[in-house]
Chains A and B, each alone.
Chain A
Amino acid sequence: MAARPGLESDPLVNTSIALCTRSLYYRYEDTPALNGIDLQVADNAYLAIVGQNGSGKTTLVKHFNGLLKPDTGQVTVYGQDTTRASVGELARVVGYVFQNPDHQIFCSTTRDEISFGPRNLGLDPGEVRERTNDALAAFNLQAYAEIPPAVLGFGLRRKVSIAAVYAMRPRVFILDEPTAGLDRRSAGELLQRMEELHRQGHTLLLVSHDMRIVAEHAREMLVMHDGHVLAHGPTREVLRQTEVLERAQIRPPQIMELGRRLAEWGLPDDALTVDEFCEAYARARKARP
């Protein structure tokens, strides 16, 4: 496979399937969390994982970087069985951005914070410096490079936590609620960065409750409920399955609901974005005399 810009040439990366689970079961003490998950995520996918709290989203994604190992079944990352690799080894390939940035921030400067991961990977100092500078620039954090990240505002701390994982240049990014607590503009910037990563060939897993973001950005969608996969497919197709959404207690984005109510007027009932809806509306206007 030809190397894409921004991607590590890695011996692990030799398959078109990025992540794969086979009848994956997992339980926390007496509570079952995952009840037989069979899933394949293609390389360079942009997958949103949605579901209520406690449906098993986070438990599932924690299997992909080896933080959790299956009770029964198998999880592979680019063909590598996660039970045979440590979290540190998997971190080369799978970057996991936690929901709360404060769970990882500890260095006295933002620069050190970002270089922590690359240093753990055992890269030489020049490479660490280059990647750190690159990550600082990519997330517009140069002005804060020498400031303790703990004193930055929440939005900036979130950016630091993502930049810190970005500097490790993993093939797969897992982002757990990356836009929670961000204002619309910061969230927009972040989603823009994620689009760029996707264009560069990275695989993105987005755990989110925000259906607007899911509809506008994710190419495919996975609906979880009670540790089961209810649906998995292209975002538009999954969002059309009203019964599945109701069972998982998920409301489709507002624009889709509006479309459904106005369907009898010839408007699309599956527009994912406001732009898409407006275009369809304009076309419908033109078509009518």
Chain B
Amino acid sequence: MSSRYDLYQPGDSWLHRLDPRVKLLLAVCGSLVLLVFVNLWVIIAALLLALAALWSAGVSRERISAVWKALLPTMILVAVFWVILYPGEGPALVSFWIVHITAASVAQALAIALRLGALAFTIFLWLFTTDQSTLVRSLVALGLPYTWGLTLAIALRYLPTMANALRMVSDAQQARALDLTKGNPLKRGRAYIPIIVAMIITALRTAENLSRALESRAFGAPRQRTFLRQLAFRRVDLIWTVGILLATGLLLWARLVLG
């Protein structure tokens, strides 16, 4: 059930075992590099690297194609607009009305569109291979206040519960002859009010009960928290960190200083 609301794909690959903080660093540095470079070849290389990493971590093909499916409309839109609006230099391949399409603009558009994909997969390297509780724990370890981390964890944990409640509320109102399909869009929009209000009441009640349950289990009592599971930063994590920082530094230096 939860898999539909959770990006994490369970596994025990090198990427799963890597410290979540290192994966976060990889996602941040990878994004930085991708945002600085507009070279088509660099972007294709990054995309292939990210896909190869996901493949080696055993992330299923369905998951990867789902990301492609979600991104494709935006990528196509961005590419088309880029080609039309930024003519670029050199002889026009195609010319009509005020639009001149050049080889340079096509390459540029392709780079911009693929950059979206590369960025997404760089971030999904982190999200596909880190389960929610580890993810939250890593953010707390990086200095996020524990209460914020817990709030985030609870919000993620309650997504499937709330989706389930939404289905129940919708069923219950339809059983009282609420019709969600008839009438114009405005009327149909109004038909959702009974569902939304009942959902808000349910959410508030859940939140109140949950906060009482947390407090009755001594949440917020000790000043210094201890943790059941500590994140362990191993030698391999250190090597990755140094590697990522060096590679990012080198690439940024190459781009900014050498041009």
Residues on A lying within 8 angstroms of B by beta carbon are 62, 65, 67, 86-88, 91-92, 95-96, 98, 100, 102-107, 116-117, 120-121, 150, 164-165, 168
Contact between A102 and B179 (Cβ–Cβ < 8 Å)?
no
Given contacts A104-B198, A106-B201, A116-B194, contact A98 B172 (CB under 8 A): yes
Please tell me if the beta carbons of B179 and A165 are within 8 angstroms of each other in the complex. Answer: no
Give the Cβ gap from B106 to chain A, nearest Cβ, in Å.
Answer: 43
Given contacts A100-B168, A103-B165, A103-B168, contact A88 B179 (CB under 8 A): yes
Q: Give the contacting residue for A105; candidates B171, B193, B198; CB below 8 A.
A: B198
Partner of B175, one of A65, A106, A107, A150: A65
Does B174 lie at the interface of the complex (its beta carbon under 8 Å from any beta carbon of A)? yes
Shortest C-beta distance, B177 to chain A (Å), equals 4
Which of A86, A106, A121 contacts B197 (CB under 8 A)? A106
Q: Which residues of A contact B175 (CB under 8 A)?
A: 65, 67, 87, 91, 95-96, 98, 165
Whether B194 and A98, one on each chain, are in contact in the complex, defined by CB atoms closer than 8 angstroms, is: no
Greatest chain B CB density within 10 A among A62, A86, A87 is at A87
B157-176 Cβ-contact flags toward A at 8 Å (1 or 0): 00000000100110111111
Judging by beta carbons under 8 Å apart, are B169 and A165 in contact?
Answer: no
Neighbouring B residues of A87 by C-beta, 8 Å: 174-175, 177
* In contact, B201 and A165 (Cβ under 8 angstroms): no
Q: Are A92 and B177 in contact (CB under 8 A)?
A: yes
Q: Is B75 an interface residue (CB 8 A)?
A: no
Residues of B within 8 A of A168 (CB): 176-177
A92 to B179, CA, bound (A): 13
Does chain A have a CB within 8 A of B248?
no
Residues of B within 8 A of A96 (CB): 172, 175
Of B172, B178, B202, B205, the contact of A120 (CB 8 Å cutoff):
B178
Q: Can you list 11 contacts pairing A with B, beta carbon distance less than 8 Å?
A: A67-B171, A95-B175, A98-B175, A102-B198, A104-B198, A106-B195, A106-B197, A117-B177, A120-B176, A120-B177, A165-B175
Scoring B residues 191 to 230 as 1 if CB is less than 8 Å from chain A, else 0, what string do you get?
A: 0011101100110010000000000000000000000000
Query: Is the beta-carbon distance between B173 and A104 smaller than 8 angstroms?
Result: yes
Give the complex CA separation of A116 and B174 in angstroms: 11
Chain B residues with Cβ below 8 Å from A150 are 201
Q: Given contacts A88-B179, A103-B169, A165-B176, list 15 more A-B pairs with CB under 8 A.
A: A65-B175, A67-B174, A95-B175, A98-B171, A102-B205, A103-B165, A104-B172, A104-B173, A104-B198, A106-B173, A106-B194, A106-B201, A116-B194, A120-B176, A120-B178
Cβ B201 vs Cβ A105 within 8 A = yes
The CA of A87 and the CA of B175, in the complex, are separated in Å by 6
With most chain A CB atoms within 10 A of its CB, the pick from B177, B181, B193, B202 is: B177
Residues of A within 8 A of B165 (CB): 103
In the complex, what residues of B have CB within 8 A of residue A91's CB?
174-177
Cβ-closest chain A residue relative to B193: A106
Which residues of B lie under 8 Å from residue A65 when comparing CB positions?
A: 175
Q: Is the CB of B179 within 8 A of A86?
A: yes
Which residue on chain A has the smallest CB distance to residue B175?
A96
- CA of A163 to CA of B189, assembled, Å: 27
Known: A102-B202, A103-B169, A103-B202. A117 touches B179 (CB 8 A): no
CB B227 to nearest CB in A, in angstroms, measures: 34
> What CA separation (Å) do A104 and B166 show in the bound complex?
11
Separation of A88 and B195 alpha carbons in the complex (Å): 15
Q: How far is B198's CA from A88's CA once the two chains are assembled, in angstroms? A: 18
Please indicate the chain B residues that have their CB under 8 angstroms from the CB of A164 in the complex: 176
**B202 CB → nearest A CB, Å:** 5
| A contact residues around B197 at 8 Å (CB) | 106-107
A120, B179: Cβ atoms under 8 Å?
yes
The residue of chain A having its C-beta at the shortest distance from the C-beta of B173 within the complex is A104
Give the chain B neighbours of A165 by CB distance below 8 A: 175-176
Bound: A173/B173 CA distance, A: 15
Nearest A-chain residue to B197, judged by Cβ = A106
Q: Which residues of B contact A67 (CB under 8 A)?
A: 171, 174-175
**Complex Cα gap A143–B195 (Å):** 26
What's the nearest-Cβ distance from chain B to residue A258, in Å? 38
Chain A residues near B181: list those with CB within 8 A: 86
C-alpha gap A104/B181 in the complex (Å): 19
Minimal Cβ-Cβ distance residue in A for B194? A106
Of chain B, the residue at the smallest CB distance from A62 is B171
Interface set, chain B 133-183, CB cutoff 8 A to A: 165, 168-169, 171-179, 181
| Given A65-B175, A98-B172, A168-B176: A103 in contact with B198 (beta carbons within 8 A) | yes
Residues of A within 8 A of B205 (CB): 102
